Each structure stands twice: as C-alpha cells, then as structure tokens.
A and B are shown apart, each in its own frame.
Chain A
Amino acid sequence: AQSVTQPDIHITVSEGASLELRCNYSYGATPYLFWYVQSPGQGLQLLLKYFSGDTLVQGIKGFEAEFKRSQSSFNLRKPSVHWSDAAEYFCAVQQGAQKLVFGQGTRLTINP
C-alpha cells in the first residue's frame, strides 16, 4: 500500500526566508501527488498536484514542488515566506481512483 512520510512535524522560519517542506512517498508506479494546506479553522486547500510531465509543478500562493522519482520525494518550496503562510501542510498520494493517503502533516510557524 502507498504511504507518505513528512519527516518534519514542526518547522519555524523567519518571514522572508525560503522554505522547503519534505515529503517522501512509497508507491510502485508513477504516483499522483498532492500538497494541501490547512489554515486554522479552514478546510484542506489544494496547493498543487503532480500527475505526469514536468517534474517541477507550480501551485497557488507562490508555492512549487519538485517530483524526484530517484529519491521518492515531492518537496514543497517557496522562495520567500509571508506571515500568512503559517499553517499545517499535508502531502498526499492518490491510492486507486479516489482515496488520498496523507502524511502526518508539517506545522509551519513564521517568525516576524
């Protein structure tokens, strides 16, 4: 069965600094990969997704992610974080047609 690991439970960065959130997956074929963000009191919002093609995927809010098959990774990046980026970030892989398998989540705190 597919699985997703987010090694960092909590990350703190300063406003304006760059950000990389790690995600590793376990899947035999080409995975369908997603990053979702959850702000307090909000639902899970899709940031970006990868199905095939270009391994560098652009998303909303200035985020991007790179699919690296050799490393089984799909890390999320942002060149300069804003205080409004403080949230919980979830990496997920599609299992079958409809089921998403999520990682543990990474809580991002932004220092002013």
Chain B
Amino acid sequence: EPEVTQTPSHQVTQMGQEVILRCVPISNHLYFYWYRQILGQKVEFLVSFYNNEISEKSEIFDDQFSVERPDGSNFTLKIRSTKLEDSAMYFCASSEDGRSTDTQYFGPGTRLTVL
C-alpha cells in the first residue's frame, strides 16, 4: 500500500539554524499538508499546498516557515531560523484531490529538537 514517507525521523539543531524537513507524498496525490505536534499538545495544522501554491495556512505559519515542491516527488518544510518553541513532531500528509471528503494520509513524522 502506498504511504507517505518523511526524512529524517529525528533532527537536532541549534537555535537560529535553518532546517529542512522532507516528505515524499503518495505519488498520485495532489494536495499536501504539514501539521505539527508540540509535546503534550494537540496536532495542529500548519499549511496546505496545491499546484505549487499555498492554499491555506494557519497563524502559526509565519515568515519563518516556507514550503516547496522542488521536484515531482518531494515536499519540503523549511524553518529559516529555528526557535526553541519550534521543537515538535512535524507530520506531512497528502490527499488525492483536496475535497473535504477526501482522506489525508499521514507520514510517520519528523521529531525536531531545537537546542
């Protein structure tokens, strides 16, 4: 069964450094998402992406964050200058066509630790 994959599984970085989290969505899916879960808190929506454009973003997704589909398979989340509070599990998801009845399929997550 096709699945969403994410690399790395764990990333440790120093405050102020840039990080790029990578995701490979399911191959025929057109909509891509990033969510995050700070330890002990809810899973929160960050951004959705379609046709090389952000289609929706949350208030969390400020100028420090950016997303990109650099090629036909990868979908990345970049944090420009990491802060301690960016430490979280980051989940990538994809869906076939973005309808509200569509299922979002999630990857295993990348645990980001900012020191």
Contacts and interface: CB of A to CB of B under 8 A. Distances in A.
Interface of A: 32, 36, 41-46, 49, 51, 90, 92, 94, 96-105
Contacts, number: 59
A49 B91 contact: no
A43 B56 contact: no
Interface of B: 3-4, 6, 31, 33, 35, 41-45, 48, 55-56, 58, 91, 93, 95, 98-101, 103-109
Contacts of A36: 106
Contacts of B105: 43, 46
Given A97-B98, A98-B31, A46 B55 contact: no
Given A43-B6, A45-B106, A97-B99, 4 more contacts: A44-B91, A96-B56, A97-B100, A105-B43
